[in-house]
Structure 1
Amino acid sequence: MSDMTSNAPLSWREWLMTERPASRMQARLGRTYTTWLRFCENKLALVGLLILVLLLLTAAFADLLAPYSPYIGNLKDERLLAPSALHWFGTDDQGRDILSRVIYGSRLTLFVVILVAIIAAPVGLLIGTVSGYAGGWIDAVLMRITDIFLAFPKLVLALAFVAALGPGIENAVLAIAITSWPPYARIARAETMTFRNADYISAVQLMGASPMRIVLRHIMPLCMPSLIVRVTLDMAGIILTAAGLGFLGLGAQPPLPEWGAMIASGRRFILDQWWVAAAPGAAILIVSLGFNLLGDGLRDALDPKEEGR
């Protein structure tokens, strides 16, 4: 009995790693497990994953973790206090606890990152796959539109859209999403052009599948690994763009604890009360580093060239 118990994990591993899966589910689980093993070989990628998990937990339990209100401060007695046991990151010019504002600011950061990914990635994937599969004048028109967006720096284009839409966190998210989809379209188009002449695509065409079905059911899933890696690597840039808009007063508006806006309010005291801007700046640095490390790990794990190594 003890021998069977000790061999249970090995049997499960063998079931996942088998070269002859008995079902599609077993094959998918096996590929997922193999990808996870390759991902775990990269220690820095695990650090990035840990940072992201901590960010998610901080945002989810901000009400429990924050020692003070992020909006209300003691302007009379606690203005610009240095870091101490009572206020670990000090207080700002309104007497508000900076640690609490950084904690609640993680929610805004995740809000921006998730919404931009939900909006920009599908748009870029759809445009890129349709362009690559259709070819001809459709490809030319869609790629020229993509080139127009790529011709402008992302922050400058986002500033133009926010100036037209008006300041606010929702308009900032929309502006960043509008400027973020072109790289995804380029990647999806390049991937599609390598797949569209493959034998299995030709077989699906002979079975009578419509072009839209081929794009949605067969080509898009093949483009997802590259897109996931690019989206993860772009998260740091999205955070910096959102912080830049907040720094310029075009993103989240006071008294929302957005990290870029916090840096903007602390720049007036950067020489004497450095902690006001240093804390949100460090948060942006750590989270951006975490996404970059995670993206590098996903790129190595999802790269088909790594499977034979």
Structure 2
Amino acid sequence: MNAARRNWLLSDAPQTRRQARLGALYQGWLTFRANKLAMFGLIVLIVLIAMAALAPWLSPQSPFAQDLANRLQPPSAAHWLGTDHLGRDILSRLIHGSRITLFIVGTVALIAPVIGLFIGTVAGFAGGWVDQVLMRITDIFLAFPKLILALAFVAALGASITNAVLALALTAWPPYARLARAETLTIRNADYIAAARLQGAGPLRLLVRHIWPLCVSSLIVRVALDMAGIILSAAGLGFLGLGAQPPMPEWGAMISDGRTYILDFWWVAAMPGIAIFIVSMAFNLLGDGLRDVLDPKGAKS
């Protein structure tokens, strides 16, 4: 009878864990939904993603079509956000430029945290000279402003959107490495780590199965909060002509094109600037909401 009950409990354990995970997700969603500003940020990002996905159908005109007869036209019914110095519709270029923004943000968000997680957890778990070497390399990267270091990488690799993304990813990983190392130092001597080691788990298994999952939540919050800085850095590279090359409708490059006309034709530079401001603010608000869900103790402090 006891054996049958034990078998029933073991068979029901996965379902119980699944229900617990669903309950935790639901509670997290309720906490996130209670933050009105975070919901506003989420809605803005959903609109941005939908706009990027449906750009060919949403844009009223081609983002590359030039009409010199209608150059530098103010916002009107024909051109809701006006036209630039080549007569191109600014609204259409902003809509198509959202694809470039999401490409930059998504790629950097996939590359930089992974590099930082690997370096930080290896340094914190191994300790000794491995920790010293990896952290000194991290300190070297942190010693330079990210934008200046990204400019150096792009200057060495060549001006293009791919090289700009690679440069941003190579300069964005050090904070994630420091955060992952701090998390690893707090849990590497925990009892369950020692128990897993006694059961024969090797260093790689301990990192992948036990340490990495505990570091992910903090990294997610940091990534969401850093997205605004990544967008601004990408816009800075585009403004200097080192990011997306003409005639691509990158928002930073659009501001660069309009800086000559800022006094008389303000909308040429103001419209992409407003777009960058709104998206950056949305990522910051989303990051605050994720922090409340994934790191409630840090949010209260």
TMscore range, shorter length: over 0.9
Higher mean displacement: 189-198 or 253-262: 189-198
Q: Give the deviation of 1:24 after TM superposition.
A: 2.3
**How far, CA to CA, are the matches of 1:206 and 1:120 in structure 2?**
33
Is 1:85 aligned to residue 77 of structure 2?
yes
8 A contact 1:113–1:235 mirrored in 2: yes
**How far, CA to CA, are the matches of 2:112 and 2:157 in structure 1?**
18
- The 5 A counterparts of 1:74-223 are 74-75=67-68, 77-223=69-215
Aligned residues: 288
8 A contact 2:38–2:287 mirrored in 1: yes
Residue 36 of structure 2, aligned match among 8, 22, 43: 43
Q: Give the deviation of 1:307 after TM superposition.
A: 11
Q: Which amino acid aligns with 1:37?
A: L
For residue 23 of structure 1, give the secondary structure of its aligned residue in structure 2: helix
Q: Give the deviation of 1:305 after TM superposition.
A: 2.7
Is 1:53 aligned to residue 46 of structure 2?
yes
Pair 1:47–1:21, CA change in 2 (3 A): farther
**How far, CA to CA, are the matches of 2:299 and 2:17 in structure 1?**
19
Q: Residue 298 of structure 1 aligns with which residue? A: 290
**How far, CA to CA, are the matches of 2:15 and 2:263 in structure 1?**
66
Q: Which amino acid aligns with 1:196?
A: R
Q: Which amino acid aligns with 1:257?
A: P
Q: Give the deviation of 1:306 after TM superposition.
A: 7.9
8 A contact 1:168–1:252 mirrored in 2: yes
Residue 250 of structure 2, aligned match among 253, 258, 263: 258
For residue 92 of structure 1, give the secondary structure of its aligned residue in structure 2: coil
For residue 108 of structure 2, give the secondary structure of its aligned residue in structure 1: helix
**How far, CA to CA, are the matches of 2:111 and 2:220 in structure 1?**
14
For residue 184 of structure 2, give the secondary structure of its aligned residue in structure 1: helix
Q: Residue 69 of structure 1 aligns with which residue? A: 62
Q: Give the deviation of 1:228 after TM superposition.
A: 0.1
Q: Residue 8 of structure 1 aligns with which residue? A: none
Is 1:34 aligned to residue 24 of structure 2?
no
Higher mean displacement: 200-209 or 250-259: 200-209
**How far, CA to CA, are the matches of 1:111 and 1:305 in structure 2?**
33
Greater than 3 Å deviation, 4+ residue runs: none
Q: Which amino acid aligns with 2:180?
A: A
User: What percent of counterpart residues are identical?
Assistant: 68
1:236-285 deviations in Å (ceiling 9; x for gaps): 00000000000000000000000000000000000000000011000000
8 A contact 1:21–1:27 mirrored in 2: no
Q: Residue 5 of structure 1 aligns with which residue? A: none
**How far, CA to CA, are the matches of 2:103 and 2:58 in structure 1?**
19
Q: Give the deviation of 1:96 after TM superposition.
A: 0.3
**How far, CA to CA, are the matches of 2:198 and 2:74 in structure 1?**
72
Is 1:241 aligned to residue 233 of structure 2?
yes
Q: Which amino acid aligns with 1:23?
A: T
**How far, CA to CA, are the matches of 1:168 and 1:92 in structure 2?**
23
Q: Give the deviation of 1:21 after TM superposition.
A: 8.6
Q: Give the deviation of 1:22 after TM superposition.
A: 4.7
1:34-77 deviations in Å (ceiling 9; x for gaps): 111111111100011011101100100001110000011211x1
Is 1:269 aligned to residue 261 of structure 2?
yes
**How far, CA to CA, are the matches of 1:146 and 1:42 in structure 2?**
35
Q: Give the deviation of 1:175 after TM superposition.
A: 0.2
Q: Residue 9 of structure 2 aligns with which residue? A: none
8 A contact 1:49–1:290 mirrored in 2: yes
Aligned CA RMSD, in angstroms, stands at 1.5
**How far, CA to CA, are the matches of 1:30 and 1:186 in structure 2?**
32
**How far, CA to CA, are the matches of 2:82 and 2:169 in structure 1?**
34
For residue 70 of structure 2, give the secondary structure of its aligned residue in structure 1: coil
8 A contact 1:121–1:184 mirrored in 2: yes
1:148-195 deviations in Å (ceiling 9; x for gaps): 000000000000000000001000000000000000000000001111
Q: Residue 227 of structure 1 aligns with which residue? A: 219
Unaligned 5+ residue runs, structure 2?
Answer: 1-12
**How far, CA to CA, are the matches of 1:148 and 1:92 in structure 2?**
42
8 A contact 1:87–1:99 mirrored in 2: yes
